[in-house]
Every structure is written in structure tokens, then in C-alpha cells.
Chains A and B, each alone.
Chain A
Amino acid sequence: MSSDIIHNEQHLAHADHDDHDHKPTGFLNRWVFTTNHKDIGTLYLVMSLLMFLVGGVMAIIIRAELFMPGLQLVEPDFFNQMTTMHALVMVFGAVMPAWVGFANWLIPMMIGAPDMALPRLNNWSFWILPFAFTMLISTLFMDSGGPAAGWTLYPPLVLQSGTNFAFVVFAIHMMGISSIMGSINIIATILNMRAPGMTLLRMPMFIWTWLITAYLLIAVMPVLAGAVTMLLTDHFFGTNFFNAAGGGDPVLFQHIFWFFGHPEVYIMILPAFGVISEILPTFARKPLFGYGSMVYATGSIAFLSFIVWAHHMFTVGMPLQGELFFMYATMLISVPTGVKVFNWVSTMWQGSMTFETPMLFAIGFVVLFTIGGLSGLMLAITAADFQYHDTYFVVAHFHYVLVPGAVFALMAATYFWLPKFSGNMYSEKWGKIHFWLSAVFVNVLFFPQHYLGLAGMPRRIPDYSPQFADFNMISSIGGFAFAATQLIFVGVILHCIFKSKVRATSAVWAGSRGLEWTLSSPPPHHSFTTPPDVTQNMVKHAE
């Protein structure tokens, strides 16, 4: 049998080139020089899990210091380094690479392609990141310590940073380059590598959400690069972009940063929307409700994300028309988001549901993410935001959308597809234990922070006034327990891959639909060597 895949010259030189499941041998060839979408996906996911643990340790240090009023464990400056680094590591090192890892694994399998469109570029997109994070984290060991001005890097404070400053800026540049190259690859793959019959409106929601996410990344990562470049020249080369004495304006940085920053939150959450739209129909044994409206809602959210950035800056001083515009535009986002939540609930309505671990995390996502969405709506009200701004209410809000939001969706995705990736079933018992402990403690951790914020406790401080003591202690206990719970997650993953004796079938789940479930578990090295002909009944959301 001859192949539909052309390899490069060295490989063509081998006469006996029939076996397609030839994984490269040796560590360097398999992992460092790889062009395989699954191996690169695995690299992304492993790095992301490591960064999740590193960022988690920083969060524990923060919660330990805040366990009681007064300064107990760390110096205030180190505390600031922890809040800054926790955010940078979690955003750029844990959540974003995790989604790119799933994109790498799933996009070729879901659209019927053998691999990504630009496999060499794919390798580079990943292999920049370990260097970038080594450089970023190494700043903690410099004489100046790590960056301590908050992940938002506002001038003039950030311009007072010492040795670490240039390293942080260049690390961000590297992460940006990686994200842009990864996104270019994802867009080219989705638009150019689909199997015959896989029309745009037959694509799974995960593909749609990633297509739009990749567009957002290409649009806003250069904006962040520009912003930190201006910081760099202000610091080292005497420019005055953010210095009023020179005619510049520190608020300009905030505008540019949040023009990146708001789409960035959708970069972290849109793929989560996609995953939830894959999982709920599988375990409700019903097609996704309102597929078309899901696509348009995703597009609308992406569009709106470009015109709402100044809701992060209501209190810095803006003309009244600006405050009002950004308030109304922000509130408008709840319309497409509401469409999505409505569709998820309608998907489950009258479904014959079962509650395996991925389904539990998906339902947990729908409920808890909605809480984060509603507190976002409160923050969008300009007048009210003057009270909430820079308090723990904001911290509670974005942790609700990111932890039981994005991170729960990542966990759901892990339980959902790990049997496909590894060929083994995970332990359902321990998966469920992991879910229930996570779901309880994430609320113990973050819910009290709403009250703290409404009562006026500011964010990013190592000490606080005694009236905030009780809620802080509850929150810290929730934090320690949530962190410990994640060790179960690591254990379940390792057990599933290396120890589990239960083999997964191709379909894995009783209600699974779509191309990725037609491949063996684990799938062959090149996903689809001959493109499948996609017919209507192979489409996930078909009736």
C-alpha cells in the first residue's frame, strides 16, 4: 500500500516506508526536534501542568501571608513579586499553553488532517516557551528580585524596577512570538487542512472557538509587545511615552495594555466555551442546542472584546462620554455570553444525562463561570466600579472566571480526552473525588473574597486591617485545600497514563460523536493519513 503522505528526502530514501506508526526514536528526535502535532501537544500540556504547580506554590505563599493580619512570613516586596509572578505564570505559562496543547492534539483529529499545517513552526512555537519562562522565573533570584509592580506592569511604578526589568520585558516578547506563531499555525490548519466535506459550519465548536481565539492572539499580542517595548525605551533609552513632563501620559500605557488585556481574557476563556460545547452534548446524548447561534455568539464576543478595554480604568480619569461608552459596550457582552449559557442549559434539557467526571466539571463550569460573569456585570457599572475598583471584589471576579471557569474547563478537557490520548481509562472514582473537593474548596477560597472586596479590602497588599481577618482565614483554608486537591489531579493523570490497566475503546464514551472518536485510542502517529469523507451524520452537532 502506498502512502498519501510525502516525507522529506531522507525519509523518501528509505525504501520500506510502509509503516506509518513510526515514532522517531531517541529523546532528542522524539521531543526536541519533533514536528508531530501530538508530541508537541503533549509538550505544551506537560509544561502547562508544571507551570500550574509553580504558579500554585506562589498562590499558596500569598494565601499563607494573608492567613492572618500583620506581616508573618514574607517581606512586602517579596509578596508583591509573588502576586506579579503568580499572574504572569498562570496566564502565560499555565492557561494559554494548556489551550494550545489541546489545540495541537485535537485540531488535526477533529478536522480530519494528518498534522498541523506548518509542523516545523509548531515546534518553534513550543520550544521558545521553556526558555522564556526560565528567563522570567530566574528574575526571582536576581539582586532586585522578580518584577513586583503587578502583572499589568503600570508605569511609573514598573519603571522603578531594578535588574529584572529588561529580562521580564524580553520574556514577554518571547511569549508573544510563541503565541503569534502558534496562532498562525492554528488558523492555517483550520482554514487549509480540513478534510473534504468538513465545511465551516460542520466544524466542532472547539475548532470554531480556537479559530477566533487565534485571531484574537494575532491581533493583540503585538499590542502587548508594543506596550512593553515602550516601557523598555522609557526605562533605558530616554523616551517619554509615559511621562507627563515630556508630553506623554502614564494612562496611555493602561489604554494600550488593556487593549491587549481584555481580548486576552477571551483568549483564555473562548477555548473553554468550545470544550464545554463538546462535553455537554456527549453526556446529555443530545446534539448541541443552537450550534449556529454559538458560532455567532463567539464571533460577537470576540468583536466586542476590542471595544471594552477601558472598563479596567474607570477610576483613572476619563471623559464622561468614555466612561459611559465603555460601560454600555461591556454590558453588551452579557448578551452573547447569555446566549451561550442558555444553549448549554438547553442542551442538557431533557437529555439522558450521565455524570462522568468530564460532565461534572462541565456542569461546574456552567454554574460557577456564570457567577464570575455576573460579578463582571456588577464591575461594568461605572458608578459602582468606583467602589469595587482595586478591591478583593475584582480578585474574586476574575478568579471565578479563570479558576472554576478556564481551569475547570481544562480539567474537564483532560478527563474527556486523556483516554483518547493515552489509550487508557483514568480512575473514575478518583476523578469524581477530585471534582467534588475542587468544586467545594474553590468556593471556600474565592467566595469570601467578594465580601472582603465589598467591605473595602484592597488587592495586592500583604497586610490588612483586623476586620477582614475571618474571611481571609476562610479563604486561605479554602486555598490550601484546593491546592492539595490538585495533587489528586496529578496523581490521576500519572496513573491513567502509566499504570491504568483499563483500555479505552476508540469511541471512549457512549455518546461520543465526531472525527476524533473514529481514530484508535491512542491515535496513530499521523492522525488521518488519508482524509476521511465527512458526511452529515459524522458531524457532531447534527440531529
Chain B
Amino acid sequence: MAQHAEGSYYVPHDTKWPMVGSLGMIIMLASAANWMNGSAMAQWTFWLGLATIIFMLFGWFGEVIRESQAGLYNAQVDGSFRMGMSWFIYSEVMFFAVLFGALFYARALSVPWLGGSGTGASTNELLWQGYVPMWPTNGPGNLGGEFQTIPAFGIPFINTLILLTSGITITLAHHALIKDQRRELVTWLAATVLLGFIFLVFQVGEYKEAYTELGLTLGSGIYGATFFMLTGFHGMHVTLGAIMLTVILVRSIKGHFKPKHHFAFEAVAWYWHFVDVVWLGLFIFVYAL
């Protein structure tokens, strides 16, 4: 019998969770499409689909956690999981890169062109006469009406501090985990979760202010579109990250993680740092500049 340098291979057998996930996905997305097309029924099936996906995630990860607790995973499986998570985060980076790209394109190229710079002289002369390019803008059509922006050094700055602090607390939690100090681990992790949810509460308040007092909406031209899409997708990722943090908090309380065996913790920590870095980009390019 030959011995593998890495130990033995792990090959799981049949699994029903992916099919549950696919069914949830098709129910959710087909319903979403029908909902957008005006079907009243579809919003109920949409939630059914989403619930199915959540059920799948609990079931699938639950199975993986049980196998991990049973000691079935060796260093090689751990390595595969790590690569999987890193490349998943990379795909998320590329998704945000598109939205940032749209923002940079509008600010550096298309808005100045509408104002007549570069090759845009005739566009400005014939189509949008008198439009003066600026940022923020809702375009030469003044779409969505007059609006004001959210000042960077108010709530957004506080939110920056909150996320940066949460990056520190999760690192402290990680150090505690490596030293096998479970009480410190739980404390710092709970602090991270709390900071995550405070961030979200502030963000919701900011949106409310934008819509009710500042006149800034999704329809406020290219500024409103890039502002809400970037901060909105980031907010969705913070929500997901906070839920993931809550899950590993519960698992920490249960004592699942060992100083040398805690991939799930690290995966969530990576994800949280990623969300953090995206926010820094947002703070600089959406709010401050």
C-alpha cells in the first residue's frame, strides 16, 4: 500500500444539497423575474426560493461541519477549502471592480465628454447645449431632480472607524483562538458582530436621510446609480459577513475551533477583511473625493 506524502485522499459520496440549492435558485430567480414583470403572486414564491437556499446552506455546511468534527478532513482537504475561499473572494473583488470601473469611467470620461471636452464637442453643442460637467451630477437631463450628497466626514467617517475597528477585533479574536483562550475569542468575536450590525444600522439611517431629506435616490442620474449600487452591494456583503460572523460566534461558543484547525474562522475573517477594504475604496472614491 502506497502512502501519500500528504496523507490520504478524502472523497465525499453522493450529496443532495446542490440539487436543493439549484431548485431554490431557479424558484427564487424565476420568481424575481416574474415579480419585476408585475406578477403579484411571484413575490411569495420568491421568498420560498430564498428560504430553500438558506435551508440548503444550513444543510450543506452542517454536513461539512459534522464531517470536520468527526476528523475526516486532512491537510489536503483544508488546502482545497482555502483555495476555494480565496478564489471566491477574488471573484467578488472583480464584481466590485466593475462598479468602481463604471464610477471612474463616468467621472473621468463620459461626464466631461457630455460637457464638450475631448471628442465630445459636437455632442455638447448639438445635444446637451449649456451642460457644464461636474461631479456629483445627475446628468444634462437633471434626472431625478435636485439632490445633495452625504458629507464624508459625518456618518460615513464613523462607519469607516467602525469597520476598521472590527478588523482589529477579529484579528484579536484570531490571536485568542490560536492561544486557545476561548473566553477572549468569544468576546472579541461578539464585539466584531456588534460593530458589523452597528455599521448596518448607520447605513440604513443614511439611506433614509438620502431619500427623505437630500433628494438623493437611485434615479439621481449617474451619481445616484453609482452611489447606491456601490454602497448597496457593499451593504449586502456586510450583511452576509455579519451573518457569517454570527455563525462562527455560535461555533466558537460551542468550542468547534482548535488552535491549529479552524478554517471556517479564517474564511470568515478573510471575507470580513475584504468587505473592509472595499469600504475604504468606497469612502475615498464615493464619499471623500
Count of chain B residues with a beta carbon within 8 Å of a chain A beta carbon = 80
> Does residue A219 face the partner (Cβ distance < 8 Å to B)?
yes
> Does residue A491 face the partner (Cβ distance < 8 Å to B)?
no
B114 touches A247 (CB 8 A): yes
B223 nearest in chain A by CB position: A247
Partner of A184, one of B70, B83, B114, B228: B83
Residues on the B chain within 8 Å of A185, using CB: 84
Residues on the B chain within 8 Å of A247, using CB: 106, 110-111, 114, 137-140, 143, 221-223
Within 12-51 of B, Cβ neighbours of A (below 8 Å) are at: 12-19, 21-23, 25-26, 29-30, 32-33, 36-37
> Does residue A113 face the partner (Cβ distance < 8 Å to B)?
yes
B15 touches A6 (CB 8 A): no
Contact A225 B140, CB 8 Å, known A8-B12, A233-B225? no
A247 and B142 CA atoms in complex are apart in Å by 9
A374 and B38 CA atoms in complex are apart in Å by 49
Q: Is the interface of B mostly helix, strand, loop or mixed?
A: helix
A118 and B81 CA atoms in complex are apart in Å by 8
A531 and B3 CA atoms in complex are apart in Å by 8
Question: Among A121, A189, A246, A526, which residue has the most Cβ atoms of chain B within 10 A?
Answer: A246
Distance of B274 from chain A, by nearest CB (Å): 13
Partner of B87, one of A1, A114, A188, A319: A188
> Does residue A156 face the partner (Cβ distance < 8 Å to B)?
no
A252 touches B67 (CB 8 A): no
Residues on the A chain within 8 Å of B17, using CB: 120, 124
> Does residue A467 face the partner (Cβ distance < 8 Å to B)?
no
Residues on the B chain within 8 Å of A114, using CB: 9, 11
Within 241-255 of A, Cβ neighbours of B (below 8 Å) are at: 241, 243-249, 251-252, 255
> Does residue B119 face the partner (Cβ distance < 8 Å to A)?
yes
Distance of B103 from chain A, by nearest CB (Å): 10
Residues on the B chain within 8 Å of A526, using CB: 11
Residues on the B chain within 8 Å of A167, using CB: 30, 33
Partner of B16, one of A11, A33, A119, A239: A33
B221 touches A223 (CB 8 A): no
Distance of A248 from chain B, by nearest CB (Å): 5
Partner of A241, one of B37, B80, B102: B102
A29 touches B18 (CB 8 A): no
> Does residue B130 face the partner (Cβ distance < 8 Å to A)?
no
Partner of B83, one of A32, A188, A229: A188
> Does residue B98 face the partner (Cβ distance < 8 Å to A)?
yes
Partner of A531, one of B2, B128, B141, B217: B2
B67 touches A8 (CB 8 A): yes
Within 57-110 of B, Cβ neighbours of A (below 8 Å) are at: 60, 66-67, 70, 72, 76, 79-81, 83-84, 87-88, 90-92, 94-95, 97-99, 101-102, 105-106, 109-110
A34 touches B140 (CB 8 A): no
Within 211-231 of A, Cβ neighbours of B (below 8 Å) are at: 218-223, 225-227, 229-230
B14 nearest in chain A by CB position: A33
Residues on the B chain within 8 Å of A248, using CB: 106, 110, 139, 221-222, 225
Contact A5 B94, CB 8 Å, known A184-B87, A187-B83, A245-B143? no
> Does residue B229 face the partner (Cβ distance < 8 Å to A)?
yes
A189 nearest in chain B by CB position: B80
Contact A192 B83, CB 8 Å, known A127-B18, A245-B141? yes
A252 touches B139 (CB 8 A): no
A135 and B10 CA atoms in complex are apart in Å by 35
A122 nearest in chain B by CB position: B18
> Does residue A502 face the partner (Cβ distance < 8 Å to B)?
no
B84 touches A245 (CB 8 A): no
B95 touches A35 (CB 8 A): no
A246 touches B29 (CB 8 A): no
> Does residue B151 face the partner (Cβ distance < 8 Å to A)?
no
A218 and B225 CA atoms in complex are apart in Å by 25
A262 and B218 CA atoms in complex are apart in Å by 31
A193 and B5 CA atoms in complex are apart in Å by 11
Partner of A246, one of B5, B84, B138: B138
Residues on the B chain within 8 Å of A240, using CB: 138-139, 143, 219, 221-222, 224-225
B13 touches A7 (CB 8 A): yes
Partner of A238, one of B36, B81, B90, B219: B219
Within 6-24 of A, Cβ neighbours of B (below 8 Å) are at: 6-11, 24
B94 nearest in chain A by CB position: A222
A180 and B91 CA atoms in complex are apart in Å by 8
B102 touches A33 (CB 8 A): no
Contact A120 B18, CB 8 Å, known A239-B229, A246-B222, A252-B106? yes
Residues on the A chain within 8 Å of B126, using CB: none
Within 93-151 of A, Cβ neighbours of B (below 8 Å) are at: 113-115, 117-121, 123-124, 127-128, 131, 134-135
> Does residue B118 face the partner (Cβ distance < 8 Å to A)?
yes
Residues on the B chain within 8 Å of A115, using CB: 9, 11
B127 nearest in chain A by CB position: A244
Task: Type the 1/0 row for B197-238, where 1 means its CB is closer than 8 Å to any CB of A.
Answer: 000000000000000000001110111111011000000000
Contact A119 B88, CB 8 Å, known A166-B32, A220-B94? no
> Does residue A237 face the partner (Cβ distance < 8 Å to B)?
yes
A7 and B143 CA atoms in complex are apart in Å by 60
> Does residue A191 face the partner (Cβ distance < 8 Å to B)?
yes
Residues on the A chain within 8 Å of B4, using CB: 4, 196, 530-531
Distance of A210 from chain B, by nearest CB (Å): 14
A5 touches B11 (CB 8 A): yes
Partner of A252, one of B13, B21, B81, B102: B102
A8 touches B223 (CB 8 A): no
A197 nearest in chain B by CB position: B5
User: What are the nearest 9 A-B pairs in CB distance?
Assistant: A245-B141, A226-B98, A247-B139, A124-B18, A166-B33, A247-B222, A239-B225, A249-B110, A246-B221
Residue positions of B touching A, CB distance < 8 A: 1-5, 8-19, 21-23, 25-26, 29-30, 32-33, 36-37, 60, 66-67, 70, 72, 76, 79-81, 83-84, 87-88, 90-92, 94-95, 97-99, 101-102, 105-106, 109-111, 113-114, 118-119, 127-128, 137-141, 143-144, 217-219, 221-226, 228-229
Q: What 5 additional pairs, Cβ within 8 angstroms, besides A33-B16, A239-B229, A246-B222? A: A4-B3, A9-B67, A35-B12, A252-B102, A255-B105
